Amino acid sequence: MASKSISTSNRSIKSSTKSGNILGGDPSSGEASAVKTSRSEPNKGHGDEQLSPKANPLPGAFDHNSENEPLLGAQGRPSHRTIGPTNSENLPNDIDDREPGRFYEARRNYRIFVHDSRVILNVLIILNTIWLVTTFVSDFFFNMSFLHFSNRITSFNDLSLIFISIVANSMNLWFNRVGLYSGLDQSLNIVLCILTLFNLFLTYILSYTRRRIGFIGTVTYLWAALTFFVGAVLDWRLYTYMKGFNPSVDDESDSSTSPIGSRHTIMEWISIGFRNLVKFLIFIFFVLFTLNTLLFTIDIGRVTHGVKDVSTEAASYDAFHWVDPEHTYQIHISCYGDVFSKDKDLQPIVLYEHGSIDTGFLSATWIQELYHLNRVQRYCTYDRPGYGLSDSAPAPISIAMVADAVTYALTKDAKIKGPFTTVGYDLGGLFTQVFTAKNVDKVDSMLLVESWHEDILLKNYLQRLLPPDRDSKDPDDMSNLPPEIQRHNGFRIWWDGLWSTVGIKLQTSWLLAHHGSKERLLGRDMKYQGKFLRGKFLESVTSSLLSYKDVLNSKEKLHDVKTSVASANELIKKSPQWGNWQRELTKVSVNTQEWKILTGGHEVYKFGTAKQELQDVLLRLIGDKDRY
């Protein structure tokens, strides 16, 4: 029996070959035909169903009840790399456009959608990149002349929004496939779009920010919102195509628990997780960004409530004044007393120039005290561009440019003609020297309080990289300056500026330290404001290039100006170099009245004895001799 089933004649092999029962069989292959024939003969003997041309009329067709079915057929075992149940009909597999199929039309439209969306996203990324570079150069190095609608409250916000738009568009481009659809990503896009528009709304509800944000600033917010809106639309289209590939998915199903949501490979899950993580980090940023904008809006509304936007001739006032005929930007000026009077018997107007990280609100309290005691009849303070309530100046900026701006704002826009007694504290001493040199005919006298020397403006990058010599007694050693001297450090300012967009320090100032609005805008916490940090960066960029030469060029015109110098003894003890610089300041003018060594630290307005001694110096300088 066994020998009969194995032995086969040449005629039976030839017959079975011609019958066409072998899938993919080559008619010339005798070996394959012999195996097929030998297997079919015993089946005939046992009465089983015989495989014949009638049963399978087409080559490649199989009876699924037969053992002739291929191992991996149409309903084969899923790939070991797939997580969750699979159905090949639900995925947009690549097929030939000429091959008709159940989802041919949907897949064709899907491929067109992917192609078109990638083109659009690439264009948006290119535009965003060009915009980012242009904004970076225009805001921090050189103002582009064609951008006439500049933002007068420029900080690091615009750069952050444009950069986030690039990241969001890149996420939309890289993960624009139906297999990577995520309902969480679509929800985050909608929320981020709403938050961006809400920030723009907060900016527009106050006249101060509404008048200063400008066309460019407004478009930046709208562009960021558009980016997230495009992402949400793309996610919605992907969900629509996903329903087309799997009609069992309805609108109310949760994509994270539906069969579609679970039908991903490991790499797809990693891609979806990475994209959602990036979007979640952007969401956290926008929450903090929105809280910072909300706090800034509240603070600005409180502080600017009584500040006027026009020139007014009054006994005392706060006002914003333009710095040039083109109305480029405004600075905030506060005056007390009758500064418009032309009575020659009145004292000169004390014009105070604040320091490096403060405004007159903090460091001019000793002059305010003299005013309330009726020892100083009138005085003015102003915030330099980027400080306090003053606008951001276009780049670049230098000491001479600020001096010209203040001159126009005071004498032309505010119509305050002087005469002035200029007082400069800390870094403000350099600004005071340049302003005095440009307005010698309007300045009666000059007081330098703990003033910087122009050599501090020099960067000396190599010396800063080396560790300071703590034991050095060389009076010319500049590597060991006291920490009270806040030297320019562009990299540190830039880093702090990027963090200023989320406002963590400002949030803690009222949550933990319970500081008020004026402290955040004008006082101790102003150094965390993005607008201030951007102004400090501009000062850093031009300190060695322009500002240093501005101070040197002003020396000659100060030769005959009545001058007094006040220096703190604690800082001189810490740094012999500082003492040498203070001595050189006394030689700026041949008409130097006195050099007073104050008993206290660099922030002389905080020390009772030093403040009293400084007040006496000022009173002697302006000619009030009644108390002596």
Q: Verify that 235 and 356 share a domain, yes or no.
A: no
Cα 152 to Cα 139: distance, rounded to the nearest angstrom: 10
Give the C-alpha distances (Å, rounded to integers) separating 419 from 267, 313, 343, 350, 410: 75, 17, 11, 9, 11
Q: Verify that 257 and 136 share a domain, yes or no.
A: yes
Q: Verify that 322 and 369 share a domain, yes or no.
A: yes
Q: For 26-41, how does the pLDDT look when each residue is reduced to its tens digit (9 = 90+)? A: 444 444 443 344 444 4
Instruction: Tell me the three-class secondary structure of 368-388, residue by residue.
Output: HHHHHCCCCCCEEEECCCCCC
Q: For 186-232, how does the pLDDT look when each residue is reduced to its tens digit (9 = 90+)? A: 888 999 999 999 999 999 999 999 999 988 899 999 999 999 999 88
Question: Of the residues 273, 303, 333, which one is the last residue of a structural domain?
Answer: 303
93 falls within a domain? no
pLDDT given at position 301:
93
pLDDT given at position 619:
95
Q: What is the mean pLDDT of residues 521-549?
A: 92
Percent of residues, the chain, with pLDDT higher than 70: 72
| Orientation of helix 207-245 relative to helix 266-303, angle to 10° | 160
Q: Between these two residues, 63 and 483, which has the higher pLDDT value?
A: 483
Q: Verify that 363 and 236 share a domain, yes or no.
A: no
Q: Verify that 402 and 464 share a domain, yes or no.
A: yes
Q: Give all strands of the β-sheet with 420-425 in edge-to-edge order.
A: 317-322, 330-336, 379-382, 349-353, 420-425, 443-449, 562-568, 592-598
262 falls within a domain? yes
Q: Give the long-range contacts of residues 483-489, CB within 8 A, separation 24 or more.
A: 484/571, 484/601, 484/602, 484/603, 485/452, 485/456, 485/578, 485/602, 486/356, 486/357, 486/427, 487/456, 488/457, 488/459, 488/536, 488/539, 488/540, 488/543, 489/540
Q: Verify that 459 and 569 share a domain, yes or no.
A: yes
pLDDT given at position 214:
87
pLDDT given at position 145:
57
| Segment among 7-21, 226-240, 282-296, 614-628 with least mean pLDDT | 7-21
82 falls within a domain? no
Q: Verify that 293 and 375 share a domain, yes or no.
A: no
Task: Count how many domains the chain has.
Answer: 3
Q: Verify that 226 and 255 share a domain, yes or no.
A: yes
Q: What is the mean pLDDT of residues 273-277?
A: 87
Cα 314 to Cα 308: distance, rounded to the nearest angstrom: 12
Cα 273 to Cα 269: distance, rounded to the nearest angstrom: 6
Q: Verify that 331 and 215 share a domain, yes or no.
A: no
Q: What is the mean pLDDT of residues 503-508?
A: 93
CATH number at residue 412: 3.40.50.1820
71 falls within a domain? no
| Segment among 306-320, 482-496, 571-585, 592-606 with least mean pLDDT | 306-320
56 falls within a domain? no
DSSP for 118-157, written as a single string: HHHHHHHHHHHHHHHHHHHHHHHT---TT--S--TT--SH
Q: Verify that 167 and 30 share a domain, yes or no.
A: no
98 falls within a domain? no
Give me the domain span that covers residue 143: 104-303
- Which are the contacts of 275, defined by CB distance < 8 A and separation ≥ 6? 171, 174, 175, 180, 182, 185
Residue 388 has pLDDT above 50, yes or no: yes
Residue 404 has pLDDT above 90, yes or no: yes
Question: Of the residues 303, 330, 354, which one is the last residue of a structural domain?
Answer: 303
SS3 544: helix
Q: Verify that 469 and 577 share a domain, yes or no.
A: yes
pLDDT given at position 385:
95
Question: Of the residues 303, 325, 355, which one is the last residue of a structural domain?
Answer: 303
Residue 258 has pLDDT above 80, yes or no: no
pLDDT given at position 593:
93
pLDDT given at position 308:
67
Q: For 104-160, how does the pLDDT look when each residue is reduced to its tens digit (9 = 90+)? A: 777 788 888 888 888 989 999 999 999 999 999 988 998 875 555 678 899 999 999
Among 538, 608, 194, 154, smallest CA distance to 365 is for 608
Q: Between these two residues, 513 and 259, which has the higher pLDDT value?
A: 513
Q: Verify that 344 and 265 share a domain, yes or no.
A: no
Residue 480 has pLDDT above 80, yes or no: no
163 falls within a domain? yes
165 falls within a domain? yes
Residue 458 has pLDDT above 60, yes or no: yes
